[in-house]
Amino acid sequence: MVGIKDVARQAGVSVGTVSNVLNRPERVSHEIRARVHAAIDLLGYVRSESARQLRAGHSRMLGLLVMDTGNPFFAVLAQGTEQVAAEAGLGVMVCNSAESAAAEQGYLSLFVEQRLRGVLFAPVASDGEPWQALRRANIPFVVVDRAVDTRTACSVAADDVLGGGLAGRHLLAAGHRRIAYVHGPGHLQQVRDRREGLARAVEEAGLGTDAIVDIPAERLDVSAGRDAGARLLGLSPRPTAVFCANDLLALGVMQTTFDAGVRVPDDLAVVGYDDIEFAEASLIPLTSVRHPAAEIGRLAAGLLLREIEPPDPERGHQHTGIVLRPELVVRRSSTPQP
Amino acid sequence: MVGIKDVARQAGVSVGTVSNVLNRPERVSHEIRARVHAAIDLLGYVRSESARQLRAGHSRMLGLLVMDTGNPFFAVLAQGTEQVAAEAGLGVMVCNSAESAAAEQGYLSLFVEQRLRGVLFAPVASDGEPWQALRRANIPFVVVDRAVDTRTACSVAADDVLGGGLAGRHLLAAGHRRIAYVHGPGHLQQVRDRREGLARAVEEAGLGTDAIVDIPAERLDVSAGRDAGARLLGLSPRPTAVFCANDLLALGVMQTTFDAGVRVPDDLAVVGYDDIEFAEASLIPLTSVRHPAAEIGRLAAGLLLREIEPPDPERGHQHTGIVLRPELVVRRSSTPQP
DNA sequence: CGGTGTGAGTGAAACGATTCATACCGCCGT
DNA sequence: ACGGCGGTATGAATCGTTTCACTCACACCG
């Protein structure tokens, strides 16, 4: 493999000069610069990123750890961070914790071994300090899609309680008095917060807690949604509305019930969460709480960059917590046609 | 940052010994091993991956370059390769060329700079030799989702001509005599092959080429599909069936036409391609040609591993080309209820 | 003519791990 | 008592960059 030494020899200069051509071309005379570039082309030289990293002490990559790379919500979030990172000349390594705390820890160790420049991650567990490894290694990180104490870290999240409230009030306003809540694994903070918002809306409306019917699901995906839909059909009396912890579940629920001849929205109103592209693309477009994925990704990357290179190095870094407001996007799945 | 030297000092041994504890523990006495591990825990030492890489000459990662990380097809493919790579102790770095040849070249250079252990990629351009950079750098690579000459490289693909034929014959058998083909950018081999398969089926049926109505789309996503659907509605006479180059397009087409009151499948039969999860999850489940994403990902990773470490180092590596057979999955979008 | 400054290029140290030839030690067999 | 051997530990060389203190030549100025 051809290295900087070979280039130097070929061009008849020292290695330091070649390095200067690459990194501070203005300090090198025109003629030498040309000679070095000619040698580089001739030999097909490519810088070794690992050697640069070793010297620099850290890589030029960010890590992004999400709970499900198959969920379009996270795919969009990842695109947002990649965009911002690319503008700063940084790459992004996206990893999938698959909602497993063990996998999460594994990837975080990997990130430390790689000496990543910074990390964005959506923690799985709702308690404990999953980021300890990063702390010890002094790797800046931003918590994504979940708010944490600003004494701990920067974070970018959306207000899930508010979002759950939006969904709840929307359904209550339409006259529904018995609402199913289809939720994924209970250890996820987001899932609990959304229910909390729904519960408050129900309370505001002066209804008892039995206005909410919990339907647990194994995972947060379409097939779990189909199972949940089947269970929903078995309930008696059947709820007239269903709120799902995310859009994938809602799509699954809607499919099963639609198949069984239940008319959406007339017999059953359905509201999802996240507003992924497929919510809008459904044949009966899905009402959903818009969770601004791309913006979360972009803002979080921005905060991370600020933590990596403070614009004002004098005063130390102050953690920032951004909480975005979700919006209800009303579509046909919850609004009977006149 | 604490390094191997600090651990050695703390444990009262040489750096070589610490390295042995980490990499060949069987060569180190019990007592020393314990002392070293204690020192590691005490100091919170974490190996520097970049130093290992520098020494080894290559990283312990594979690169995967796909055309659209937002497309569930590629998300599933990525999960397949990650699974196989993880079993071999390798990580995967997933990048998005976004169907741009320039971005593709950018990522390939990045891969070379990183001295990745191997690369899987779905080439954008249908001609030329996009992998030249990898060749020069001696980085093994496997072409994914497209067949190439086995003298050139290993590849794993599905037979798109056959797939297009399956879709075509299915529609023709149902009596359709005027079929729209909604396709994405024409420079993609897959898009052209699928049309080719359709065209042959039409020919076999003894029909003229005017049985196919081309509807071009800007991209291969849902919103492009909606546009295409609108154009389809404007055609007169309107085709009675539509075959789409991928499922995202098909979902978009189906939504627009459904909205306009066109009954699927009675007034319009729709067939997609890839059989992503959302095809099955649609309210009117989408007939689709199953393109085995996870298997492509797994097989390609397997071939790559074989090229990296030949099981039989005696005889050089022989490139292999795997072509999988797609299957038609018939669902409601193309079969009128009795 | 001596002193000073400047711009261009040099060469060696450093980054943190791995690896390999070598040294050491105790023990066995002769 | 000595050679040899197996099992352990050592220390230096190495990977490919970047960086920085330095040299050198040349021009300029008083």
pLDDT digits (tens, 9 = 90+) for A162-214: 999 999 999 999 999 999 999 988 889 999 999 999 999 999 999 999 999 99
Per-residue pLDDT at A216 exceeds 90: yes
DSSP state for residue A239 in the 8-state scheme: P
Which neighbouring-strand residues pair with B158? B324
pTM value is 0.94
Per-residue pLDDT at A124 exceeds 80: yes
**Chain B residues closer than 8 Å to A262 by CB:** none
Longest dimension (CA), chain B: 86
Per-residue pLDDT at A333 exceeds 70: yes
Which residue of chain B has the CA closest to A90?
A: B110
Q: Is B294 on the interface with A (CB under 8 A)?
A: no
Report which of B112, B94, B96 is spatially closest to residue B104, judged by C-alpha positions: B96
DSSP state for residue B152 in the 8-state scheme: T
Q: What is the pLDDT of residues A76-114, one digit of tens each?
A: 999 999 999 999 999 999 999 999 999 999 999 999 999
Are A226 and A258 contacting, i.e. CB atoms less than 8 angstroms apart?
A: no
Q: Given this model, what pLDDT does residue B325 score?
A: 97
Q: Residue B250 — φ and ψ, nearest 5°?
A: -65, -40
Residue of B57, B69, B278 with shortest CB distance to A1: B57
Residue of B51, B94, B252 with shortest CB distance to A54: B51
**Which nucleotides on strand C sit less than 7 A from a protein beta carbon?**
7-21
- Helical segments of chain B, H only: 4-11, 15-23, 30-43, 49-56, 72-87, 101-113, 132-136, 160-173, 189-204, 222-234, 247-259, 277-281, 293-308
Q: Is A76 on the interface with B (CB under 8 A)?
A: yes
Nucleotide in closest CA–C1' contact with A54? C15
Q: Is A206 left (phi over 0), alpha (psi -120 to 50) or beta?
A: left
Which residue of chain A has the CA closest to B69?
A: A75
Q: Is A2 on the interface with B (CB under 8 A)?
A: no
Q: Given this model, what pLDDT does residue A168 score?
A: 98
Helix axes B189-204, B160-173, angle to 10 degrees: 40
Contact across the interface for B59 and A50, Cβ inside 8 Å: yes
Which neighbouring-strand residues pair with A336? none
Are A63 and A93 contacting, i.e. CB atoms less than 8 angstroms apart?
A: yes
Per-residue pLDDT at A314 exceeds 80: no
How distant is the alpha carbon of residue A7 from its chain centre?
43
Mean pLDDT of A258-275: 96
CA atoms within 13 A on the CB side of B295: 11
Contact across the interface for B278 and A278, Cβ inside 8 Å: yes
CA of A48 to C1' of D15 (A): 11
Q: What is the mean pLDDT of each run of 10 residues along chain B (338 residues)?
A: 96 97 95 97 97 97 96 96 96 95 96 98 88 96 96 97 98 97 90 97 95 96 96 95 98 96 96 97 97 98 94 81 98 91
**Chain B residues closer than 8 Å to A277 by CB:** 222
Nucleotide in closest CA–C1' contact with B17? D9
Q: Is A5 helix (H, G, I), strand (E, B) or coil?
A: helix
Q: Residue A217 — φ and ψ, nearest 5°?
A: -130, 150
Q: What is the nearest CA distance from B304 to chain A, expressed in angstroms?
A: 20
Q: How far is Cα B284 from Cα A123, in angstroms, rounded to an integer?
A: 36
Q: Is A105 on the interface with B (CB under 8 A)?
A: no
Q: Is B42 on the interface with A (CB under 8 A)?
A: no
Contact across the interface for A255 and B50, Cβ inside 8 Å: no
CA of A24 to C1' of C3 (A): 31
CA of B313 to C1' of D7 (A): 32
Contact across the interface for B283 and A1, Cβ inside 8 Å: no
- Cis-peptide into B237, omega within 30 deg: yes
Burial annotation A180-193 (CB, 10 A radius, 16+ → b, else e): bbbbbbeebbbbbb
Q: What is the nearest CA distance from A277 to chain B, expressed in angstroms?
A: 8
Average pLDDT, chain A: 95
Q: Is B161 left (phi over 0), alpha (psi -120 to 50) or beta?
A: alpha
Q: Given this model, what pLDDT does residue B268 score?
A: 97
Q: Given this model, what pLDDT does residue A313 score?
A: 65
Contact across the interface for A54 and B44, Cβ inside 8 Å: no
Are B273 and B291 contacting, i.e. CB atoms less than 8 angstroms apart?
A: yes
Report which of B49, B57, B54 is spatially closest to residue B138, judged by C-alpha positions: B57
Q: How far is Cα B167 from Cα B246, in angstroms, rounded to an integer?
A: 12
Q: How far is Cα A327 from Cα B208, in angstroms, rounded to an integer?
A: 52
Q: For the CA atoms of chain B, what is the radius of gyration? A: 26
CB count within 10 Å of CB B300 equals 29
Q: Given this model, what pLDDT does residue A328 score?
A: 98
CB < 7 A contacts with chain C (nucleic strand) = A 13-17, 20, 27-29, 31-32, 51, 54-55, 57; B 1, 3-5, 15-16, 19-20, 22-23, 45-48, 51-52, 54-56
Q: Is A119 on the interface with B (CB under 8 A)?
A: no
Q: What is the nearest CA distance from A146 to chain B, expressed in angstroms?
A: 23
Q: Given this model, what pLDDT does residue B213 score?
A: 97
Contact across the interface for B109 and A75, Cβ inside 8 Å: no
**Chain A residues closer than 8 Å to B48 by CB:** 54, 113, 115
Q: Is A69 on the interface with B (CB under 8 A)?
A: yes
Q: What is the pLDDT of residues B240-258, one digit of tens each?
A: 999 999 999 999 999 999 9
Mean pLDDT of A141-149: 96
CA of A231 to C1' of C20 (A): 66
Q: Is A60 on the interface with B (CB under 8 A)?
A: no
List C-alpha distances in Å: B277 to A123, A232, A272, B274. Answer: 26, 22, 18, 9
Q: What is the pLDDT of residues B162-177, one digit of tens each?
A: 999 999 999 999 999 9
Q: Is B333 on the interface with A (CB under 8 A)?
A: no
